[in-house]
Structure 1
Amino acid sequence: MTLPRTPSFRLDGRRALVTGASRGIGLGCAVALAEAGAHVVLAARGTDALEEAVAEMRAEGWSAEAQALDVTDLEAQAAFFAAQDPFDCLVNSAGLARHSAALDTDPGDFDAVMSVNLRAAYFLATNAARDMPEGGSIVQISSQMGHVGGLDRAVYCASKHGVEGMTKAMAQEFGPRGIRVNSLCPTFIRTPLTEPTFADPEKRAWIMSKIKLPRVAEVEDIMGAVVFLCSPASAMVTGTGLLVDGGWTSG
């Protein structure tokens, strides 16, 4: 008998790009991929926080570098990819949320959210895929709100449902080239950005009423999931959304 062997979760020798990497979920993804052996390019609009993160990551013995990039500037996007060696992994964590009742939605807020969450995400994926080698992985950080609705979140939900749709379509298009495309869909993650939400007793109660596990989510909860989606361990996973939502969407 020949026993099967578990595929590797390691990313040694691979190049990964993580956008929105200066804090929160993006930073967690960058650390997770670097810890798994990848060389990680951390990208965001400003570099101060990125440089601090990279210095700490290098002190751990991991391989990382910082790059300034505004993902909404499509010309800058194209120039960035043209100047880089191909990436084996793209994790797009750049995102924007502006919540309001649908009847009160400001067109400027609508355009801003769609520009970051959908338009920029779309072209990040296509730019990365052009030269991505076989075995590559594209991961969009989506949301549980890409699978359900939410009060005062019509614009955000529209953008994330769009991400889920393009993920499925790109998985079909890029699949024959051996490139996988998936989304990672977290619930509310405790970060400095969401701290005001958790600090509101009414909003925290609403979140906890939806999550079936007895705690809120932390950045560490998405780190194993992103390594899985970027590694050979998920070699037959494409066109899907991996929900890290504590059971929110289970009913």
Structure 2
Amino acid sequence: MQDPLNKNALIFGGASGIGWAAAQTMMEHGAKVTIADVHRSSECNDAARYIDCDVCKAEQVCAAVRYATERDPLDWLVYSTGIQRYGSVVDTSVEEYDLVQSINARGAFLACRAAIPRMPKGGAIVLVSSVQALACQESVAAYAASKGTLEALTRAMAVDHAKDNIRVNAVLPGTVDTPMVRSSARRFGGADGLEQTLQQWGESHPLGRVGHADEIANLIAFLLSDKASFITGASYRADGGLLAQLAVRL
């Protein structure tokens, strides 16, 4: 990652998981980071500024962007806010579907809508999507739809804002050890226990393990940096080889 001294970054969903790992990576290289989230986790420290933000509420998203740009234009934006819900389209209520879309996809739209006018030429955006935008397991209809929306939004914004040299890319993680994944493992792990469930899920990836949040953060940091200056409208999988393999085994 190119030294981002004096870069001003805003991370939605930066209080935990991949967002927090991205915040740490940027701060380690000297960037000024603002975290916008619904809760300040114990992981957050005084190195990053923090603002409460419910991404379902447009006025709070706009307030977060104003807070992050009080003194400097916004160089980097990361949208890492997301929730997971389970069910087919028949099992999922309209209210639950709307909630997933509102947090995972509409929130990204609101964040970018507010942030782009405050970004200088040469700014960069990364949306955290998922491999389930491309291929999915059973009973994730709402989640997969929301992540597919992020894929399309990435391409559209990359085209619309290329004239201002604002780059927009997406990162598609596989299974990564985050609080959200651990919550799912507790739900579906049964008697096997949390750690054994995570190990089993990891074994479905050719690399034989789940990913670590800092591994995704490194990819985010690269895409934001000037080293990726000719990359926009792209989606990068960081999935341990998950989508490279066929389900059929010899």
Q: Report the TM range for the smaller structure's normalisation.
A: 0.7 to 0.9
Does the 8 Å CA contact 1:197/1:204 hold for their aligned counterparts?
no
Please point out which of 119, 127, 140 is paired with 1:140.
Answer: 127
- For structure 1, which segment, 155-164 or 191-200, has the greater mean C-alpha deviation from structure 2 after superposition? 191-200
State the secondary structure of the residue aligned to 1:26. Answer: helix
**Where do 1:12-161 residues align within 5 Å?**
12-47=5-40, 49=41, 53-55=44-46, 58=47, 64-85=48-69, 86-161=73-148
- The letter for the 1-side match of 2:96 is D
Cα distance, 1:66 vs. partner?
Answer: 1.2
- The letter for the 1-side match of 2:37 is A
Does the 8 Å CA contact 2:10/2:68 hold for their aligned counterparts?
no
**1:158-185, Cα deviation, whole Å (9 max, x unpaired):** 0000100010010000111010001111
State the secondary structure of the residue aligned to 1:109. Answer: helix
- State the alpha-carbon separation in 1 of the partners of residues 140 and 66 from structure 2: 36
- The letter for the 2-side match of 1:31 is Q
- The letter for the 1-side match of 2:63 is A
**Where do 1:174-185 residues align within 5 Å?**
174-185=161-172
Identity of aligned residues (%): 30
Cα distance, 1:205 vs. partner?
Answer: 7.2
- State the alpha-carbon separation in 2 of the partners of residues 217 and 40 from structure 1: 24
> Is the counterpart of residue 220 in structure 1 residue 214 in structure 2?
yes
Does the 8 Å CA contact 1:150/1:157 hold for their aligned counterparts?
no
- State the alpha-carbon separation in 1 of the partners of residues 55 and 183 from structure 2: 26
**1:21-77, Cα deviation, whole Å (9 max, x unpaired):** 111111111111111221000111123x27x5123xx3xxxxx21111111110222
- The letter for the 2-side match of 1:238 is T
* Residue number in structure 2 paired with 1:242: 236
- The letter for the 2-side match of 1:246 is G
- Structure 1 unaligned runs (5+)? 1-7, 59-63
**Where do 1:195-210 residues align within 5 Å?**
195-198=182-185, 200=189, 201=192, 204=198, 207-208=201-202, 210=204
- TM-score scaled by structure 1? 0.87
State the secondary structure of the residue aligned to 2:23. Answer: helix
- For structure 1, which segment, 202-211 or 188-197, has the greater mean C-alpha deviation from structure 2 after superposition? 202-211
- The letter for the 1-side match of 2:139 is D
State the secondary structure of the residue aligned to 1:103. Answer: coil
State the secondary structure of the residue aligned to 1:214. Answer: coil
- The letter for the 1-side match of 2:58 is L
- Structure 2 unaligned runs (5+)? 246-250
- State the alpha-carbon separation in 1 of the partners of residues 114 and 50 from structure 2: 19
Does the 8 Å CA contact 1:36/1:227 hold for their aligned counterparts?
no
- TM-score scaled by structure 2? 0.87
**1:198-231, Cα deviation, whole Å (9 max, x unpaired):** 4525965773454110211111211211110111
Question: How well do the aligned residues superpose, as a CA RMSD in angstroms?
Answer: 1.9
- State the alpha-carbon separation in 2 of the partners of residues 211 and 102 from structure 1: 27
Cα distance, 1:81 vs. partner?
Answer: 2.5
